[in-house]
């Protein structure tokens, strides 16, 4: 045992291993989300700006670790290899997501620390600030649980944009480990979660400051490969009531997201 520990220590103290000249192979995921959006209205004046929208977003993502940080977290480059959006069953041709990238910085347990460059996949024609549920969907962070155990752990992530724009999401999730299940030729741990979802933030200064708040619920199931511990599937159903408050008015929109993430072979 002592020799084995010595071997491990020697390996740990050695130079950085070159895994491959091209770096580690990316993990690829297919994401399908049905996003149902209620009308955009002013709850005070009753002004109505937009009708309901039923959408489907499909993404193929390539996630590859690119650097680590002194706090133990890791930066992973997320490339949107393909993105397609349909609204009321009609393809939305103006989507500007295919080929764009961002950096997902997480701790080894999956907890999201930052989403670098997320502002470059957000806003008009990109919409990832609305479909931000994709990020915890590919990087859930369950607690370490034995079969049958239940424990609470928050799912958190921030959205940071330019010019002091920021909001933070948190799901106070209660997790349960349902034990290993057969998934095709392999075994996977199945865990489920549910809890309230809250958001607060906005643009904090300047003449165009506004507050963004939301509350709702999140629930889902995740499967992790029993051998490697990799996420293999995530089914989720999240919903929220978004409220924006600017200097002159408030606006609300109900949003719900039902979908799944599947790791591609």
Partner 1 sequence: MMLWTFLLGAMPLDPLGDPLPLYLDESRVRSVLATIPSKLTTCPTDGDLTVKTRLSLSGAGKMTVLDLTGAPPEAADCIKTSVATLSAPKHDGADVEVKTSIYRRSGVWMMSPSPEIVRRAQVPLLLFVPGDDAAGLAIWEHLMGAEENER
Q: Which residues are at the interface with partner 1 (CB under 8 A)?
A: 11-12, 16-19, 24, 35, 37, 40, 42, 47, 49-50, 53, 55, 65-70, 72, 74-75, 77, 87, 92, 96, 99-103, 108, 116-117, 119-120, 122-124, 127, 129-130, 159, 161-163, 165, 167, 199, 203, 207-208, 210, 212, 214, 228-229, 242, 244, 246-251, 253, 255
Q: Assign 53 to helix, strand or coil.
A: strand
Spatial distance between the Cα atoms of 168 and 114, rounded to a whole number of angstroms: 10
Cβ nearer to partner 1, comparing 160 with 174: 160
Cβ nearer to partner 1, comparing 117 with 219: 117
Least distance from partner 1 to the Cβ atom of residue 165, Å = 6
| Measured CA distances, 35 to 53, 56, 83 (Å) | 8, 6, 14
Least distance from partner 1 to the Cβ atom of residue 129, Å = 4
Cβ nearer to partner 1, comparing 174 with 198: 198
Q: Are 74 and 105 in contact (CB under 8 A)?
A: yes
Residue whose structure tokens are 């752990």? 153
Cβ nearer to partner 1, comparing 41 with 174: 41
Burial call 224-236: b when 16+ CB within 10 Å, e when fewer: bbeeeeebbbbbb
Cβ nearer to partner 1, comparing 129 with 217: 129
Least distance from partner 1 to the Cβ atom of residue 196, Å = 18
Least distance from partner 1 to the Cβ atom of residue 248, Å = 3
Altogether, the residues listed in the chain come to a count of 265
Coarse DSSP helix, strand, coil percentages of the chain, rounded to the nearest 5 percent? 10, 60, 35
Q: Residues near 244 by Cβ (< 8 Å), separated by ≥ 6?
A: 202, 210, 211, 212, 250, 251, 252
Least distance from partner 1 to the Cβ atom of residue 101, Å = 5
DSSP 8-state code for residue 9: H
Least distance from partner 1 to the Cβ atom of residue 176, Å = 21
Cβ nearer to partner 1, comparing 40 with 188: 40
Spatial distance between the Cα atoms of 87 and 147, rounded to a whole number of angstroms: 41
């Amino acid at each position: 045992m002592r020799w084995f520990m010595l071997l491990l220590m020697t390996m740990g103290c050695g130079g950085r291993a070159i895994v491959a000249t091209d770096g580690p192979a990316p993990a690829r995921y297919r994401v399908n989300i049905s996003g149902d959006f209620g009308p955009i209205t002013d709850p005070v004046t009753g002004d109505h700006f937009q009708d309901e929208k039923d959408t489907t977003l499909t993404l193929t993502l390539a996630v590859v670790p690119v650097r680590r940080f002194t706090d133990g977290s890791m930066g992973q480059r997320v490339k949107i290899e393909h993105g397609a959006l349909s609204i009321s069953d009609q393809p939305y041709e103006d989507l500007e997501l295919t080929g764009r990238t961002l950096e997902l910085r997480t701790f080894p347990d999956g907890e999201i620390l930052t989403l670098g460059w997320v502002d470059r996949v957000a806003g008009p024609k990109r919409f990832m600030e609305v479909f931000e549920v994709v990020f915890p969907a590919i990087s859930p962070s369950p607690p370490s649980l034995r079969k049958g155990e239940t424990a609470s752990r928050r799912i958190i992530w921030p959205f940071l944009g330019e010019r002091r724009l920021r909001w933070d999401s948190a799901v106070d999730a209660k997790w349960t480990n349902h034990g290993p299940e057969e998934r095709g030729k392999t075994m996977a741990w199945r865990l489920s979660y549910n809890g309230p979802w809250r958001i607060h933030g906005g643009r904090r200064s300047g003449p165009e400051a506004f507050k963004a708040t939301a509350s709702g619920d999140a629930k889902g199931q995740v499967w992790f490969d029993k051998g490697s511990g990799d996420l293999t599937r995530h089914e989720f159903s999240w919903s929220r009531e978004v409220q924006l408050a600017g200097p002159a008015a408030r606006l609300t929109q109900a949003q719900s997201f039902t979908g799944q993430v599947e790791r591609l072979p």
